[in-house]
Structure 1
Amino acid sequence: MIKSESQKNMQNTFNQNNFPKSFEPSDIENKWYKEWSEKGYFKTQEQPDTQKRESYSIQFPPPNVTGTLHMGHAFNQTIMDCLIRYNRMLGKDIVFIPGTDHAGIATQIVVERQLENKNLSRELIGKEKFIKEVWEWKKKSGNVITDQIKRLGISANWEREYFTMDEGMSIGVIETFITLYNQGLIYRGKRLVNWDPKLLTAVSDLEVEMEEIDGYMWYIQYPIVEDLGDIKNITIATTRPETIFADNALCVHPLDKRYNHLVGKYVYVPLTNRKIPIISDDFVDMEFGTGCVKITSAHDFNDYQCALRNNLPTISIFTKEAHLNSNVPEKYQGLERYEARKIVVEDLKNINLLLKIENHKTTQPKGDRSGVVLEPMLTDQWFLATTKIAPNNSINPGKSISEVALEVVENNQIKFYPEHWKNTYKQWLINIQDWCISRQLWWGHQIPAWYSDTGEIFVAHNEEEAYKNAKLSGYEGFLRRDDDVLDTWFSSALIPFTTMGWPENTSDLQKYLPSSVIITGFDIIFFWIARMVMLTKHITGKIPFRNIYIHGLIRDSEGKKMSKSKGNTLDPIDLIDGITLENLIKKRTFGLINPKQANTIEKNTKKEFPNGIKGFGTDALRFTMASYATLGRDINFDIKRCEGYRNFCNKIWNATRFVLLNIEDIDINLSIDTVENQNLSFADKWIISSLQNVIIDVNNAYDEYRFDNIANLIYKFIWDEFCDWYLEIAKVQMQNTFTKDEQNATKITLLNVLGNILKLLHPIMPYITEELWQKVSVYFRDDSQENLSSIVMQSYPKADKSKIDVNIEKEFLELKSQIDAVRALRGAMNLSPAEKVPLLAKGNIEKLKRNSPYIIHFAKLSTIEIVEKLPLIESPVQIIGDTYLMLNIKVDLNKELLRLEKEHAKILNEITKSNIKLNNKEFKQNAPKEIVAKEINRLEIFQLNINNINEQIEKLRKMII
């Protein structure tokens, strides 16, 4: 198709515009994100029913509304958006659902601290006003992280954005709770839980951090009640002497002969007159301590289970703040637990019941939010039964929610990438305990349960329904609503279906559940992934997602975990925009009280970033993240990578500038298919063939979630093949020694390959590719395609296998080798780049004639003379296959012999490596056929080279003699 006059004018106008010499990301990022949003490119594209497309959906792992963007978010968001942009370009029906989590404990802590700054507290202002304060805070500051995520170029359906406390989400949470309660899977009971005495709430087992400390083992004697002659006491070993007031038994192993005669006897609890029995249970370790332990069922998880097995009573001795309560002697009442420990130990010494104290390494549980030591506490909580089978469940009859969650992974309905996380997931589900889903907080989804004065529970959608249900049961008095809220992870676990409009049977629920993939770190496999699988499958009968991509932690360049206390954190926005050294130090030391720590962080920051951090732009950061995305590995983040990929952006920018400045006179349809084959040079065919291989390999890498391979494949093709080789070849082919048709074919090839490069690169680098596409696409669009002007809406490149030419690629590899060989000769002779020298060449005359213009250009030669026989002169020679290349200058024969022997050893090494690869069954079975063919070609050339070098070495040796 001949281009219209209007298009020609557009081309000419464009080419006369000033094209900046370097890429400045800040100039284009805000412009294009605003443009994409206003044009609605991220919205779900409605299509007629006759054009039904495959759906592709991803849901955010919702970041806490309290948070700001960190490196883990930047990595996660980059990977998700790469997949979304790629699949959008494949023409799929895209839904990318963003959202934030209300983060119960974290948000409540933030708002409480703000109140403290005003000399207020939540207790002082009351629950209603406190909740209002939280919503006000969320309105003003809670969307910061969303705005920062947009800075990463995330192409989400922002019109679908959710917050886990929104009305629609709340409806789904309440409906799920009621459904599970009516099935008997949610129940209320008094159980031992991890209690946070600072936050005054139960916390999940998964929110407990075990810390190893240097502690003590106290050996305490318990007086025996009966007169047993010489045996007056029995000794136990404990790490918690302050809990003796909660003891309800001493326990020994049934097979421990040392204590068999004491089982059934009684002892006095020291410092009290209370008697407790000696029992036996096989959970006791006979080798630990004295082999006799005290059972403190209200404050130890193992003891609690022992007490249940042996029908022992429980005595709770701690208040919610972890102070001793009225169940202990008056002297100790009100004491903080560690203060009580000191006094108890001293009092035991005074009455000669403390036998000894030993140093002992132990572990203590800490809350991951508060940092305080948790206390096992017997409280009334709500639980979700994970191994119980619901009698009236029609969706998954005869199976518990944990069984179903195991089954869908076992049968590969859901797949893990990398696969080894599947075993971790399975082990946790096999050993799962009932989930404590209630929290003693004010901020969160309040549990939809009401209590009568007589203790009856009425679970309902609202208060009106609760009173109605109570009346039907015969109760007409006052109802009190449960004060507790649900664990944040409960509402998060429902995201796969509540974001789709459940409990309504919406079209979204039918089309986009299950979602295509979930992207997350390994640290929330249990918190979130497993719970989503359990509840989504149980409630809807569907799996929540088909694939799970698990990535590692982002660490600093030395492999250390990033933390504020270490001062080694990096803010993705600083990497995008840049930050001065002074402001970076302020940010890293902000809030530190310890001056020594602040000084160390300041010193390390000055050493690492003496000039602050230069802004690299979003594209460079995204490409860095993709290049690091190797399955199953933690990431040691080195800022130098960002710098390297910022240079990569400049490379692409300058390549585009070169192409556009050299194609002004193109006036025909630019499809490669329309160019007559004889007008395409073998170099044109080579870059076209190479492009098809890259497209195939990149598509395969997307299927396998190998973003590192995607980044590396595209980088290598652009930098090495297109820029370093083909652009230089194009300079040769656009000279007058080539015909107009050949020159035009080269220009068309340049433009088509560049257009495909931009589309290949777009999912990872959206901004620079859009900016350049606007300059390039004028050559591709006609006047009717204005609505498809954005690269966002372009089709992803599809490989044309008919254009893959293994022989052409082999011939071009020979050309590369010839050019490299001549460059090596120049290097060996220490010739300056400005010094052009003649070359003598012997080999296939037709190929040498074809290759000569390129060799002259790349190797800085004056001329090439093709000869039938090389003269016997003292000049350096390189041998590539059946081609001999000789610089037409004199040389020291001994030095030339040494050079050839080194080359001989180098090629032998390459032959060994190639043979190892080709003899590897996995390589031959799993590698693309094109890659295997390339390796075979390389080996053939190496083997030919080694034979010819041997011949040349022999000649030189004879000449030297």
Structure 2
Amino acid sequence: MADMPKTYDPAIFEPEILKRWLDADLYRRRPGKGDCTITIPPPNVTGRLHMGHATDDTIQDALVRMARMRGLSTRWVLGTDHAGIATQTKVDKQLKESGVNRLEIGRERFLKACWDWTHEYGGMIVEQIKRMGCSIDFANERFTMDDDYAAAVRKVFVSWYRDDLIYRGKRIVNWCPSCATAISDDEAEYETESGHLWHLRYPLTEPIDGTDYIVVATTRPETMLGDTGVAVSPKDPSKAAFVGATVRLPIVDREIPIFADYHVDACFGSGFVKVTPAHDPNDFAMGEAHGLEKINIFDEHAVVVEGYGPFSGMSREACRAAVLAWFDDHGLLDHIDEHEHSVMHCYRCGTALEPWLSEQWFVAVDRLKDPALDAVRTGKVRFYPERWTQTYTTWMENLKDWCISRQLWWGHRIPVFYCDACGWTDALEHDPDVCPVCGGAVHQDEDVLDTWFSSQLWTFATQGWPQNPEDLAGHHPTAALVTARDIIALWVARMVMSSLYFLDEVPFHDVVIYPTILAKDGSRMSKSKGNGVDPMDLIERYGADAMRFNLLTLCTTNQDVKFDADIDPKTHEFKGSPRTEQARSFVTKIWNASRFLLMNMEGYTPGAPVAETAADAWIFSRLAKATELVTLGLSEYVFGDMARGIQTFFWNEVCDWYIEVTKARLTDDASRLTAQRNLIFVLDTALRLMHPLMPFVTEAIWSSMPPSWLDVDPHTNEIQRAQALMVASWPEPDKFAQYKDEEAERSFELLRTVVSAIRSTRARYRLSPREKLSVVVRMDAKDVERFSTLGTFAESLACAELSFGSDLVKPAASIAVVEAGIEVFCVLAGKVDLQAERARIEREIAKVERDLASAKKTLENKGFLAKAAPDVVLKKRERAEELADQLEALKRQGADLTE
């Protein structure tokens, strides 16, 4: 038994324990009965750990650690994503700061700069994940740009290309003028903006019923340069006379038709809708249906192309202003309405996206999505919480062909090759030297694949597919995918589609969606707002265990949770987190309680636990239920209830009661050894249950402990102590079922209720814990029978003289505490000046009533609610609730004293 320091400092212990685990190679995959393989959602290679990562990785580590202790073969796949747009943007910025343009240095030198950036910054997040205590096999790290992974990506592309699932076509895409690349629908971020609805007059070629013009309504007047039609709703009889007529498009003098189409909402604007097939997906569909010309008026940077006179060379913003000025000058600007609408923005740079007609590569999804839908509908893939199933199915049912090409250099280059001499084109897994048809020179497609295209192979391409399928055997499908709701469409669904296609099996059985961690005021955490919390700050201040445990308690079935960090509004400096502070207090409690027990183990030898007392039988039964709580909680992904439950068990039941009531037996030679064995058995079991949640402190304590009954081989009776707690055996619920004893729990709960009631009365009336009280306890006959063997014990714990029965009456001058159907009457005559106490309570009631009235008045003030910061309003509401509770408690005390 090693001596434990008086205080536990995570800054000292956690790095030491981490080194011990790594040096002993305990993270490696071990053979076992059954499999638990989990793939980490790959963070960006140049990223830093954020609260979402920290929550995700904590959950995964808890699952893997329990599986390892249960004897399963565990494989936790670590890897990073090359993050095409993000990395290229950062490298572009770095080069520009040095006065270099990527177009000047060329593709090869730019790619070298990307690799240099990756090598310099790529390991940061991996080291942070390691510091969290994540038990990943770091020697087997993967990267989406590794050669073998790139080969898998090419195989997927070529296979789908040959199966007519990948095609090239000219269609509307979401285009980022800043990044100069296409963005998928799922990557676009919608922002509501206050704008305008401009009503423009388009002259009719020939007047209709005395009308010389029609009025179109638009939020984007600059795109009118590319209009090739005007549409009305076929359900709008007032527009029927105009169908078949034409208008003369202002500025460009283009004659364009008026037609009817069901895409048009007759109630929008004037009912006439300008149609720009090259700059709106609905307009594109109408253009296809009605044979309209598709005219692109913008280049890749959203600048007006040549051919539009003074408007050419203008940005879209400048063009809007110029077009509106022209319409106004020519009397064609009818009127302007205020209008709020949703605008798509690039998820990387924040630029407003441009619907833009361009030639891109697409995946045809019709043959892929139905099997992926069936996999969820039949339960082969299950979502936790279950409500996210609907998100998945809705997206899949409405899925459109997926644009997979990106106009970047960093990433997996599209493996399609062209011969200019004979026109040969093909997708190949290996680069050709010459054209296989004519022997001429060939060139490769310039675009790269969407990062999500490569990430969709993550569960199997990281495990040897297709080169070494034997490495994948037994580890696929993976056990669970833990991820954020934001990428159910971007990633989860695509992994299901690709895995079913190439392996004919789902990629994972369970999809665990953790709640989004929001700022204290309920807004999204972000660097720009300065309201984000760096997990490394939490680890530095409180330790990894405290951060992990707090995050697990936040993982309820709610969609979002607020993180209670205090951040300076001016400097954005992190000031602390009260809930993480509470979690650190729990870590400290575990340490201090364990240290006390280990200081009292002189003469201890391992042996079987024995329920020698009512307290023993009670705690063994509670321990059996704790093994169920944690095992089921982790197995069924109910992390919050599980974490709070094990804290209640260890702190309130083990520390506050069992250790306290067992202390006296440690000084009794006759019962000392049995008490020691029972205490070590309970502590060891509890540490094993808490290890997946708080691995560092539990490992530190366990390494200082003597063997317990859990280390004794049941066949040989020999001690088989594990190398470390993280590879020790798990307390399986079925093996602990023998300790369940409902009657023992009920009996001891009676004692706890009675003693707690007496102690709370002492505290309320400031009575010395050594002053003996006269107490009458009224309970039903069955409980009287249970309590008969515990009365003397209860008297010693509560320092009281007890009378108990089912028909006793309330004594005079006594205070009643009623809980769980038991009435405890503490006689205060001669102990408390009841008249003075009544007067004191009446004064407190009056004060609290004044404070509560003031708080309610403030909260009813509409001006305060409108102007005060959300956190100020929240604190005021919490204070009002606290005062209301306090008032109720005081009134109960007053009622007691009046009786």
- CA change 1:202–1:315 in 2 (3 A) is same
Partner of 2:629: 697
Give the deviation of 1:525 after TM superposition: 0.6
Q: One-letter code of the match for 2:693?
A: I
Q: What residue identity is the alignment partner of 1:712?
A: R
Deviation at 1:733, TM superposition (A): 2.5
SS in 2 for 1:416: strand
Counterpart of 2:431 (choices 459, 463, 469) is: 463
Percent identity, aligned pairs only, is 37
2:699 paired residue number: 770
Q: Match of 1:426? A: 393
Paired amino acid for 1:630: T
How many equivalent pairs are there? 819
Alignment-derived partner of residue 41 in structure 1:
26
Aligned counterparts of 1:896 and 1:850: Cα–Cα separation in 2: 39
Q: Residues 876 and 896 of structure 1 are in contact (CA less than 8 Å); yes or no, is this contact kept in structure 2?
A: no
Are the counterparts in 2 of residues 825 and 887 from structure 1 also a CA contact under 8 Å?
no
Alpha-carbon distance in structure 2 between the residues aligned to 1:254 and 1:154:
61
**What is the alpha-carbon distance in structure 2 between the residues aligned to residue 802 and residue 493 of structure 1?**
46
CA change 1:476–1:833 in 2 (3 A) is same
Residue 245 of structure 1 deviates from its aligned partner by 2.0
**Which of 889-898 and 180-189 deviates more?**
889-898
Deviation at 1:310, TM superposition (A): 0.9
- Once residues 267 and 807 of structure 2 are traced to their aligned partners in structure 1, the CA distance between those partners, rounded to angstroms, is 89
Task: Give the letter for the 1:616 counterpart.
Answer: Y
* SS of match in other structure, 1:445: coil
Quick one: which of 801, 814, 817 aligns to 2:750? 814
Distance 2:806 2:289 in 1: 98
Q: Quote the offset at 1:886 in angstroms.
A: 6.2
Residue number in structure 1 paired with 2:861: none
Distance 1:143 1:365 in 2: 33
| In 2: Cα distance, 1:897 partner to 1:849 partner | 34
Match of 2:679, as an amino acid?
L
Q: Go from structure 1 to structure 2 and tell me whether the alpha carbon gap of 1:731 and 1:849 turns closer, same or farther (over 3 Å shift).
A: farther
Conserved in 1, the CA contact under 8 Å of 2:777 and 2:822?
no
- Return the letter of the residue paired with 1:626: L
Give 2:440's aligned residue. Answer: 477
Maintained 8 Å contact 1:788/1:794: yes
TM-score (norm 1): 0.81
What does residue 932 of structure 1 align with? none
- Aligned counterpart, 1:236: 216
Paired residue for 2:585? 647
Check the 8 A contact 1:774/1:789 in 2, yes or no. no
User: What is the TM-score normalised by the length of structure 2?
Assistant: 0.86
Letter in 2 for 1:534: M
Which sits farther off after the overlay, 867-876 or 24-33?
A: 867-876
Aligned with 1:106: secondary structure? helix
User: Separation in 1 of the partners of 2:395 and 2:652?
Assistant: 47
Of 397, 400, 403, which residue of structure 2 is paired with 1:436? Answer: 403
The answer on 1:156 being equivalent to 2:136 is yes
Distance in 1, matches of 2:470 and 2:40, equals 20
In the alignment, which residue of structure 2 is the partner of 1:491? 454
- In the TM superposition, 1:288-307 aligns within 5 A as 288-307=268-287
Cα distance in 1 between the residues matched to 2:531 and 2:445: 44
My pick for the range that moved more, 706-715 or 340-349, is 340-349
Partner of 2:647: 715
Task: Show the counterpart of 1:612.
Answer: none
Deviation per residue, 1:801-843 (Å, 9 max, x gap): 2221111111101111221233245346542235455778999
Give the aligned partner of residue 634 of structure 1. 560
1:42 shift after superposition: 1.1
Shift in CA distance, 243/838, structure 1 to aligned 2, threshold 3 Å = closer
Alignment correspondent of 1:684: 616
Q: Distance in 2 between matches of 1:886 and 1:245?
A: 89
Match of 2:571 in 1: none
Deviation string 1:848-907 (CA, Å, 9 cap, x unpaired) is: 78535643443245x7799999999966476998998765964689889999xxxxxxxx
Whole-Å separation in 2 of the counterparts to 1:261 and 1:841:
92
How big is the shift at 1:684? 1.1
The corresponding residue for 1:547 is 510
Q: Tell me, in whole angstroms, the C-alpha distance in 2 between the residues paired with 1:80 and 1:481.
A: 40
CA distance in 2 between partners of 1:31 and 1:412 (Å): 44
Q: Is 1:671 aligned with 2:608?
A: yes
Q: 1:191 to 1:894 in 2, by over 3 A?
A: same
Contact 1:489–1:528 (8 Å) recurs in 2: yes
- How far apart are residue 528 of structure 1 and its match? 0.5
Question: Structure 1 residue 25 and structure 2 residue 10: aligned?
Answer: yes
Q: 1:794 aligns with which of 725, 728, 740?
A: 728
- The whole-number CA distance in structure 2 between the counterparts of 1:849 and 1:116 is 84
Would the aligned equivalents of 1:770 and 1:791 in 2 still touch at CA under 8 Å?
Answer: yes
| Displacement after TM superposition at 1:378 (Å) | 1.1
Name the structure 2 match of 1:947.
none
Residue of structure 2 in register with 1:204 after alignment = 184
Give the Cα–Cα distance (whole angstroms) in 2 for the partners of residues 402 and 311 of structure 1: 30
Moved more, 279-288 or 61-70: 279-288
Distance verdict in 2 for CA 1:125–1:828, change over 3 Å = closer
Question: C-alpha distance in 2, partners of 1:237/1:847?
Answer: 82
Q: Following TM superposition, by how much is the alpha carbon of 1:732 offset from its aligned partner in structure 2, in angstroms?
A: 2.4
Whether the 8 Å contact between 1:670 and 1:752 is mirrored in structure 2 is no
| Structure 1 pair 793–655 and aligned structure 2 pair: CA distance change class (3 A) | same
Aligned equivalents of 1:653, 1:662: Cα separation in 2: 15
| Alignment RMSD | 3.0
Structure 1 residues 141, 857: CA separation in 2 closer, same or farther (over 3 Å shift)?
Answer: farther
Q: Secondary structure in 2 aligned to 1:131?
A: helix
- Equivalence for 1:73: 53
Contact 1:681 1:742 in 2 (8 A): no
Check whether the contact 2:776–2:810 (CA below 8 A) recurs between aligned residues.
no
Structure 1 pair 230–53 and aligned structure 2 pair: CA distance change class (3 A): same
Alignment partner of 2:589: what SS? helix
C-alpha separation between the residues in 2 aligned to 1:507 and 1:92?
A: 19
Offset, 1:565: 2.3
**Structure 1 position 114, deviation (Å):** 1.2
> For the residues of structure 1 that align with 2:376 and 2:309, how far apart are their CA atoms?
56
User: What SS does structure 2 have at the residue aligned with 1:358?
Assistant: strand
Structure-1 residue corresponding to 2:379: 412
For 1:670, give the aligned amino acid: G
Asked if 1:342 corresponds to 2:271, the answer is: no
- After TM superposition, the structure 1 = structure 2 runs for residues 582-621 of structure 1, keeping only pairs within 5 Å, are 615-621=541-547
Once the two structures are superposed, what CA deviation does each residue of 1:654-704 show, in whole Å capped at 9, x if it has no partner? 11111111121123x3222xx4x6xx1111111111111111222222232
Q: Structure 1 511/882 Cα, relative in aligned 2: closer, same or farther at 3 Å?
A: closer
Shift in CA distance, 867/185, structure 1 to aligned 2, threshold 3 Å: closer
Inter-partner Cα distance in structure 1 for 2:778 and 2:379: 60
Give SS of 1:512's match: coil
User: 1:746 is matched with which residue?
Assistant: 675
Query: What are the equivalent positions in structure 2 for 1:517-532 lying under 5 Å apart?
Result: 517-532=480-495
Shift of the 458–806 alpha-carbon distance from structure 1 to 2, 3 Å rule, reads same
Q: Is the deviation greater in 727-736 or in 106-115?
A: 727-736
Shift of 1:746: 1.3
User: What is the CA deviation profile of residues 434-453 of structure 1, one whole-angstrom value per residue up to 9, with x for unaligned ones?
Assistant: 00000000100000011121
- Equivalent in 854, 859, 862 of residue 798 of structure 2: 859
CA–CA separation in structure 1 for the residues paired with 2:232 and 2:815: 88
Q: Secondary structure at the match of 1:642?
A: helix
CA deviation string 1:751-797 (max 9, x = no partner): 10000010010000000000000111456668997872200111111
Mapped contact 1:59–1:96 kept (Cα < 8 A):
yes
CA distance in 1, matches of 2:48, 2:123: 9
Gaps of 5+ in 1: 1-10, 47-51, 388-399, 578-614, 900-952
1:42-77 deviation line (CA, Å, top 9, x unaligned): 11113xxxxx61101110000111210111111110
Question: Would the aligned equivalents of 1:874 and 1:892 in 2 still touch at CA under 8 Å?
Answer: no
1:221-260 matched pairs, under 5 angstroms? 221-226=201-206, 230-260=210-240
Query: Hey, what's the Cα distance between the residues in 2 that align with 1:237 and 1:367?
Result: 26
| Mapped partners of 1:683, 1:728: distance in 2 | 10
Q: Do the aligned residues in 1 keep the contact of 2:181 with 2:408 (CA within 8 Å)? A: yes
